[in-house]
């Protein structure tokens, strides 16, 4: 079985071709066109610009894959239908529908956040590999620049959303606070690097910590900005202070994530914890979670699979197909998580 996966939910144009045999996968192509230079000067992703870049990148990537493979051999396409930026999703949808009609193939619609979960099941390598099996039920935390969602998966198809961010996502908060410190976009990786040099800690609030499984980072972001303003009023914002601020912000956000994970773990009989999404590539977060949860099986994706890409979407298409999701001729996109 051959599957072509396409990703356009935000600012990464991803396309991957995989071959599947008896629960083993081989990556034939995994192409990615990043847009961070386009959005960097704005300090965040601009939806209309993202959609424009997808329209430009998708045909180029497809031609690159077609050089080595006859696309008529694929069994179906899989496409990330949301959640994401609506203009970006629409530009991807138009391309995928036209391609499906041209090849006379159907489409498996893929939930972007579920695909982040599935990314822990494989490695980013060319050779044949077995798709990992995990024990359900699984507690799944998706944490990225656009999403902070907590799910309980009974199996690959049945999931229950326990909570989500009510305002800013964790990665978005890192990016916005980094921008306020004068650091370039994306801010998360830079904050992680600077935090390693910290010698001090600034206490920061943890909004709605006790209230259910939802997250809120807007109040934390506001408190951080006020703290930075206060520091600027009486002293220079030097490298040491910036490092301490980065450490404090990162530590506070990660402690909130761990608190909610632990609360859900105590209330549900789970066998596995999965942490995925772009922020899951943060080594400090990995260490904190592994140190806190010592009895559970914990899975993180490889760094290259933590962020948005077509490979996750292709794999998700296969798993959904194997578990009873039929290919469709028409697809509908959605900007909000379900």
Condensed to tens digits (0 to 9), the pLDDT of residues 72-102 reads: 999 999 999 999 999 999 999 999 999 999 9
Domain range list for the chain = 2-124+304-322, 138-301
Residues 260 and 151: their CA atoms lie apart, in Å, by 11
Instruction: Report whether CATH 3.30.310.80 matches the domain 138-301.
Output: no
Q: Is the dihedral of CA 158, 160, 166, 171 positive or negative?
A: negative
Triad 167, 170, 176: Cα angle to 5°? 80
**CA 293 remoteness from chain centre:** 22
- Tokens representing 216 are 């809120």
The whole-angstrom separation of Cα 287 and Cα 1 is: 38
Tell me the pTM. Answer: 0.93
> Buried b vs exposed e over 264-299: b needs ≥16 C-beta within 10 Å?
bbeeeebebbbbbbbbbbbeebeebbeebbeebebb
What's the CATH code, domain 2-124+304-322? 3.30.420.40
pLDDT at position 54: 96
Q: Are 135 and 156 in contact (CB under 8 A)?
A: no
Reported as a pLDDT band with limits 50, 70 and 90, residue 43 is confident
Task: Provide the pLDDT for residue 45.
Answer: 85
DSSP assignment string, 142-204 = EESSS-EEEEEESSSS-EEEEEEBSSS-HHHHHHHHHHHTTPPSSHHHHHHHHHTT-------
**What pLDDT, on the 0 to 100 scale, is given for residue 39?**
81
Establish how many alpha carbons lie within 13 A of residue 265's alpha carbon, considering only the half-sphere containing its beta carbon: 20
Residue 272, pLDDT > 90, answer yes
Neighbours of 166 (CB within 10 A): 14
pLDDT at 36 over 80: no
DSSP type of residue 328: B
**28 Cβ neighbours under 8 A, 6+ residues apart:** 2, 17, 18, 19, 68, 69
Tokens of 262: 């632990």
pLDDT in tens, 213-256: 999 999 999 999 999 999 999 888 999 999 999 999 999 999 99
Position 208 scores a pLDDT of 92
Q: Tell me, what's the pLDDT at 163?
A: 97
pLDDT-derived band at 307, boundaries 50, 70, 90: very high
In the chain, the percentage of residues whose pLDDT exceeds 90 is 86
Q: Average pLDDT, stretch 282-298?
A: 95
């Amino acid at each position: 079985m051959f599957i072509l996966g396409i990703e356009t939910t935000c600012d990464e144009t991803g396309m991957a071709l995989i071959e599947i045999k008896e629960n083993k996968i081989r990556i034939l192509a995994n192409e990615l066109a990043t847009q961070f230079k386009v959005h960097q000067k704005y300090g965040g992703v601009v939806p209309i610009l993202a959609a424009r870049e997808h329209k430009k990148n998708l045909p180029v990537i497809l031609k690159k894959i077609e050089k080595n493979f006859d696309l008529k051999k694929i069994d179906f396409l899989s496409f990330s239908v949301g959640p994401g930026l609506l203009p970006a999703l629409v530009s991807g949808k138009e391309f995928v529908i036209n391609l499906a009609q041209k090849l006379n193939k159907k489409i498996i619609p893929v939930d972007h956040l579920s695909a982040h979960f599935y990314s822990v099941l494989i490695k980013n390598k060319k050779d044949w590999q077995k798709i990992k099996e995990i024990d359900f039920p699984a507690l799944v935390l998706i944490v990225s620049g656009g999403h902070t969602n907590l799910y309980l998966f009974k199996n690959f198809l049945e999931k229950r959303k326990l909570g989500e961010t009510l305002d800013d996502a964790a990665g978005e908060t890192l990016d916005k606070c980094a921008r306020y410190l004068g650091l370039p976009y994306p801010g998360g990786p830079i904050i992680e690097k600077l935090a390693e040099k910290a010698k001090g800690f600034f206490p920061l609030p943890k909004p709605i910590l006790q209230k259910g499984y939802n997250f809120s980072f807007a109040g934390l972001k506001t408190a951080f900005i006020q703290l930075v303003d206060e520091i600027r009023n009486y002293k220079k914002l030097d490298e040491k202070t910036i490092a301490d601020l980065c450490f404090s912000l990162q530590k506070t956000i990660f402690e909130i994530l761990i608190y909610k994970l632990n609360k859900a773990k105590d209330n549900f009989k789970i066998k596995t914890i999965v942490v995925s999404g772009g922020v899951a590539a943060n080594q400090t977060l990995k260490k904190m979670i592994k140190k806190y949860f010592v009895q559970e099986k914990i899975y993180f994706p490889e760094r290259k699979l933590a962020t948005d890409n077509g490979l996750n979407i292709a794999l998700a298409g296969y798993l959904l197909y194997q578990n009873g999701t039929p290919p469709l001729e028409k697809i509908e996109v959605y900007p909000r998580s379900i």
